[in-house]
Structure 1
Amino acid sequence: MKQKLLGFFVLFLIVLAHGQTIRYVYDTSVNPDSINLVTMKSERTFLDVKGDHSLFISENKLVRDSLFAIFKSEVKENNKKEEKDFSKLEGKRHHEPTFFEYFITKNIPERKVYYYDRVAGKQIYYQEDRPIRWEITNTVEKQNGYPAQKATTSLGGRTWTAWFTKDISVSDGPYKFSGLPGLIVKLEDDKGDYKFDLVKKIMIKNSFEEPISSDAKQSTRINFRGDKAALELEFNKNRSTMATNNVGENMHSGSGRHGGGMRGGNHSGGGMHRGMGGEGNNFPMQGPNGDTPSFKSGASPNQNPIELN
């Protein structure tokens, strides 16, 4: 009887563990200038590990994306008008910007890494095709509260130094880095532009998971920039055609009554909200290129890419 109870308890713990997400929180420092060493900017990044899979994402992006997921769900449930959604979001647009306008998923045992971005309202991704080859040294030091061992590798035109701990038996780390016999607790590049420091570990019952679109465009690492540019070009071309058609419709609808054209433009699908969002059933307040809605204003702060080639 005791053995049965013990077996049931162990099974319960396994099921519970697989249903929870372990979040590793990193203080991340970035040099925003690719030429000069200026004051480092800081934000937090998360490595969410659930079972055999993980998600790397910045805190600012996760907060922004989860907020919009909630609003989008409310719109569908309550069938609210786009104008109401716009005013509801207006006061929430100025969340902190992020240097990581993408997210990365990993299949940890198979060492498969997927990079997801969004352009022109469409998700696009590729599978990383460069296996990370670590050189593990015999140097052992205490890093961020853990006994850690030093390892080095090269990726994207930078040489990276990682400190991993066997005290946490997760073969993973920030960004695309994984494959060491333990969790990476500290990571920095040779140019002093990027630094990740593990600061805490927390358990989350129902963590937000970035949705993977069923129509996401698959690309390759080599063709990624070209495919993104093609999607943006196609979007701008369609938007230009739609704008031309809306002008013609508004002129036609307004010709028979005083001021009718402007009123028609605001309600017939040619107004600001539909025009910026693309199709009428898209979520409003998309970015200028139809990207995932962004709270930040101005140009992206990421002038210093994490991968130089």
Structure 2
Amino acid sequence: MKKTVLFFMFLGFFANAQNKRFIYEYRFVPDSTNISNIKTEVMNLDVSPAGSKFYSYTVYNSDSIMKADLDKQLAATGSINIRSDMRKGLVKYSVTKNYPKYEVFLHDRILADKYKVSEERPINWKITSEKKKIGEWTTQKAEADFAGRHWYAWFTTEVPIQDGPYKFHGLPGLIVKIEDQTRSHLFTLQAVKNINSIQDDVFDSQEIPVSLKQYSKLMKDYENDPTKGLKQMQIGGITMIITDGQNNHMKDQEILLKEKIKKDNNKIEINKSK
């Protein structure tokens, strides 16, 4: 009965035929050995009656600018030059949820390949009696373990959407704030606005569907050898292999990438597959 009431409240929230954008500030510590280095990213949760999409505002905007620049290059010269500084933003992945079943998918790229990762782990919330005001919202506290971290969430029944930032969902209202126990990852709702439609990816590419276990292995392989996919490429049916001269540059790139991966040791999911 309660789920039915929430469903009709949810539909009523979209009575004006307007989709909603919930804008979050995401504060996180990427390197556990340097906790004073706190990063911040603006994240959008776009919601429609069919589902939601969670993504970085900065990444989406930079991709839009980059695509326009590449289209101009192609029209003017017939070729494109991609600079390493063209893509801004720190959070490259996105998360989608399909309503009403709340099927959750992570969308991420490893080198040239884009993956769609099905999330099948349930989030078992424990709702407490504790309440507090966060901004304009009256919220209630809930707790859950997910992907190796313990999370504290504050949700509001004033917004009858059982959704929230990242993969989090399933509470009887929108998640206004959520933070892990170590205070390494914090999402806080900043604003709400009406939008016409949920944003599509700027660069269309075929996604490869994989399980959490497969994705975890792909990420581990990449972190062990981050330039493996660049050493041999298929172009027009011809296999191109890096020569010795180019290989020296590739080794320098590998050192830089491994150092970057080493400093990104405090990810939002400690356990990617359980």
Change (3 A) 1:303 1:144: farther
Tell me how far apart the structure 1 counterparts of residues 52 and 21 of structure 2 sit (CA, whole Å): 9
Residue pair 2:114, 2:205 contacting (<8 A) in 1 also: no
Residue pair 1:108, 1:171 contacting (<8 A) in 2 also: no
2:179 to 181, 188, 196: 188
Match in the other structure for 2:231: 236
Match in the other structure for 1:52: 50
Letter in 1 for 2:60: L
Q: Over aligned residue pairs, what C-alpha RMSD do you find?
A: 3.3
TM, length-normalised to structure 1: 0.67
1:54-69 equivalence runs, <5 A: 54-69=52-67
Residue pair 1:149, 1:164 contacting (<8 A) in 2 also: yes
Gaps (5+ residues) in structure 1?
Answer: 1-12, 248-287, 290-297
1:215 to 206, 213, 217: 206
Question: 1:241 Cα shift?
Answer: 4.1
Higher strand share: 2
Question: 1:242 Cα shift?
Answer: 1.2
Match in the other structure for 2:119: 128
1:106 to 97, 100, 103: 97
1:93 to 75, 85, 91: 85
TM, length-normalised to structure 2: 0.75
Match in the other structure for 1:270: none
Write out per-residue CA displacement over residues 207-238 of structure 1, whole angstroms, 9 at most, x where no aligned residue: 53226956321111112132353797455333
Gaps (5+ residues) in structure 2?
Answer: 1-12, 246-252
Question: 1:60 Cα shift?
Answer: 1.8
Higher helix share: 1
Write out per-residue CA displacement over residues 2-61 of structure 1, whole angstroms, 9 at most, x where no aligned residue: xxxxxxxxxxx97962xx531111111111222353242222111111222111111221
Question: 1:168 Cα shift?
Answer: 0.7
Structure 2 residue matching 1:225: 3-state secondary structure: helix
Match in the other structure for 2:40: 42
Tell me how far apart the structure 2 counterparts of residues 212 and 111 of structure 1 sit (CA, whole Å): 25
Structure 2 residue matching 1:175: 3-state secondary structure: coil
How many residues are treated as equivalent by the alignment?
240
When Rg is computed on C-alpha atoms for both structures, the one with the higher figure is 1
Tell me how far apart the structure 1 counterparts of residues 264 and 52 of structure 2 sit (CA, whole Å): 24
